[in-house]
Amino acid sequence: METEKLPALRVTEQGRSKFEDIVATEFSLTISLNNQELVTLLCSPTKLDYLAIGFLSSEGLINSKDEIRKISIDDERGIARVTTKEAGEPARDISFRRFIGSSGGKGTNASTVAGASRTEIKSHLQVSAPAVLALMEEFVQRSKVFRATGGVHSAALCDANKILIFSEDIGRHNAIDKIFGECILRDVPTDDRIIITSGRVSSEILLKVAKRSIPILISKSAPTNLGVKLAADLGITLIGFVRGKRMNVYSCDWRVVPDGE
Amino acid sequence: METEKLPALRVTEQGRSKFEDIVATEFSLTISLNNQELVTLLCSPTKLDYLAIGFLSSEGLINSKDEIRKISIDDERGIARVTTKEAGEPARDISFRRFIGSSGGKGTNASTVAGASRTEIKSHLQVSAPAVLALMEEFVQRSKVFRATGGVHSAALCDANKILIFSEDIGRHNAIDKIFGECILRDVPTDDRIIITSGRVSSEILLKVAKRSIPILISKSAPTNLGVKLAADLGITLIGFVRGKRMNVYSCDWRVVPDGE
């Protein structure tokens, strides 16, 4: 269901051959909060309840599991209906002010990006450089859909030794939202934890991770300048380009210790 | 301005060293149409007029240069103000129905994705497999910001022999919108042309490209299943995974001829 086999033509210097390629499935999920349609996400069709709750949490529309009255997923029509115990602010206004991200799209309000609610993360968590490399290696190994299709992003919640929750999605924001949605619904704490992402790290990703008090963010890819600056402001250790046996630490590098100390 | 040097710590097996890394600049651009703020894009701070017009065109809010009365870019505050000769439909409603993309985010209306206005592209343009490889090679060569930062996407408009317009942006949708905005403002025709993108090809990218009647779409990366299906429906030749000396053709493969015929 996460992938589909489709006929394609492979063209190489040796010639042409028909084959069946495995491509990532793209699914359209409309999220409705208290009977108001908020947004339609293009996503991979897995963990849709986690995605809906993670999205609503990242947008600041839900803060805890206690607020949720009911979640129902209509797989046929691609709708996630969430109702809360108390109806919040009007959705229309939120949608209107939505950011559309660089290449992640999920968005945050202008006020958030402007820094209305930046709280520095105080966690004393440290991780050794070899542990970062080992986590990334496990992360890449687990990216089954990526290896099959080359067309999805992954995200993971870890402690300093192992991956606790793993997700894949055609969207890098969705992959992270699925993790946080699962944390909320399954009561998994995120303090003193690590997030790994396959994707590039823009300001939006930092704000999302900061909202869950995550002190360390590890990426296989590049950060933007604003991603680096926000990480420093928020007290988050941002590690980028973790590839092979090396990495770049862009902020709060005291959390990365040389060896398994 | 597209990049910034920031201090970072490189950690390898050999040890740690401070260095200055070059990262992509992330800029926040709010697009206002007829004095209504529509959206805020996270983007690279270049060709902002092209980005604004390309975005409005992709969203179906502007169809030609003739409709535009004035474009003014406020670099300081990050605002692109566009006024048209006749004010269109109310922005609030458009924004409310916006899609938030998988990892591209720019979005289209549900009605468009549902297929309200699918016209098959009839172009007889063909391209040889060696020409596709040569175009991709030139494309990768020109991606200066990517080579410096690893953190941006590129897009190009080409004919069967060369790149005509090239752009880079932290967002894969923005990079394509910059191309189309430039085409609109500089009266560059897009019929019988080719688009190259560094990014993954989802349904949104197909709809954007179809809107400009582009018959051939070439990507370095993977398509989604819906991207492939839309390409077939729209009569667009979709070529993915153009790497080294090989490529996969997912739809309308009659446009890819073996040699320079």
Task: Tell me whether residues A253 and B9 touch, CB distance under 8 A.
Answer: yes
- Domain tally, chain B: 2
Task: Tell me whether residues B174 and A223 touch, CB distance under 8 A.
Answer: no
Which domain CATH number covers B54? 3.10.20.10
Task: Tell me whether residues B100 and A98 touch, CB distance under 8 A.
Answer: yes
- Asked whether residue A182 falls in the same domain as residue A107, the answer is no
Q: How far is CA B79 from the centre of its chain?
A: 20
- Asked whether residue B240 falls in the same domain as residue B133, the answer is yes
Residue B32 lies inside a defined structural domain of this protein: yes
Out of A133-137, A151-155, B116-120, B160-164, least confident range: B116-120
- Asked whether residue A133 falls in the same domain as residue A98, the answer is no
- Asked whether residue B160 falls in the same domain as residue B92, the answer is no
A209: number of Cβ within 10 Å: 30
Spatial separation of the C-alpha atoms in residues B109 and B57, rounded to whole Å: 13
Q: Which positions in chain A touch B106 (Cβ < 8 Å)?
A: 100, 105
Which domain CATH number covers A146? 3.40.140.10
Q: Which positions in chain A touch B247 (Cβ < 8 Å)?
A: 10-11
Task: Tell me whether residues A104 and B103 touch, CB distance under 8 A.
Answer: yes
pTM confidence score: 0.90
Q: Which positions in chain A touch B107 (Cβ < 8 Å)?
A: 100, 105
C-beta pairs of B247-254 under 8 Å, 24+ apart in sequence: B247/A10, B247/A11, B247/B129, B247/B132, B247/B133, B247/B218, B248/A8, B248/A9, B248/A10, B248/A11, B248/A21, B249/A8, B249/A9, B249/A10, B249/A11, B250/A6, B250/A8, B250/A9, B250/A21, B250/A23, B250/B223, B252/B215, B253/A9, B254/B126
- Asked whether residue A147 falls in the same domain as residue A244, the answer is yes
Spatial separation of the C-alpha atoms in residues B145 and B152, rounded to whole Å: 7
- Sign of CA pseudo-dihedral A63, A93, A101, A206: negative
Residue B122 lies inside a defined structural domain of this protein: no
Could you report the per-residue pLDDT of B155-208, keeping only the tens digit for each? 999 999 999 999 999 999 999 999 999 999 999 999 999 999 999 999 999 999
Residue A141 lies inside a defined structural domain of this protein: yes
**Looking at A58, A85, A113, which one is the last position of a domain?**
A113
What lies within 8 Å, CB to CB, of B162 at 6+ separation is: B135, B138
Task: Tell me whether residues B129 and A11 touch, CB distance under 8 A.
Answer: yes
- Asked whether residue A108 falls in the same domain as residue A175, the answer is no
Residue A40 lies inside a defined structural domain of this protein: yes
Residue A236 structural domain: 127-257
Residue B102 lies inside a defined structural domain of this protein: yes
Q: Which of A225, A247, A257 to mutate to test the interface with B (most CBs of B within 10 A)?
A: A225
Residue B19 lies inside a defined structural domain of this protein: no
Average pLDDT over residues A11-29: 95
pLDDT category of residue B49 using cuts at 50, 70 and 90: very high
State whether residue B256 sits within 8 Å of chain A by CB: yes
- Asked whether residue A90 falls in the same domain as residue A153, the answer is no
Nearest chain A Cα distance for residue B141, angstroms = 19
Spatial separation of the C-alpha atoms in residues B24 and A77, rounded to whole Å: 39
- Asked whether residue A143 falls in the same domain as residue A214, the answer is yes
Out of A39-43, A129-133, A145-149, B210-214, least confident range: A145-149
- Asked whether residue A89 falls in the same domain as residue A153, the answer is no
Task: Tell me whether residues B102 and A43 touch, CB distance under 8 A.
Answer: yes
**Looking at A84, A113, A142, which one is the last position of a domain?**
A113
Spatial separation of the C-alpha atoms in residues A182 and A174, rounded to whole Å: 12
- Residue whose C-alpha is closest to residue B168's, from B185, B151, B183: B151
Residue B192 lies inside a defined structural domain of this protein: yes
What value of ipTM does the predicted structure carry? 0.87
- Asked whether residue B105 falls in the same domain as residue B136, the answer is no
Residue B15 lies inside a defined structural domain of this protein: no
Could you report the per-residue pLDDT of B206-239, keeping only the tens digit for each? 999 999 999 999 999 999 999 999 999 999 999 9
pLDDT category of residue A104 using cuts at 50, 70 and 90: very low
**Looking at B79, B113, B147, which one is the last position of a domain?**
B113
- Asked whether residue A251 falls in the same domain as residue A142, the answer is yes
Average pLDDT value over all residues in chain B: 89
Average pLDDT over residues A63-72: 95
Question: Measured between alpha carbons, how far is residue A141 from residues A45, A134, A135, A163, A166 in Å?
Answer: 21, 11, 10, 11, 11
- Asked whether residue A251 falls in the same domain as residue A132, the answer is yes
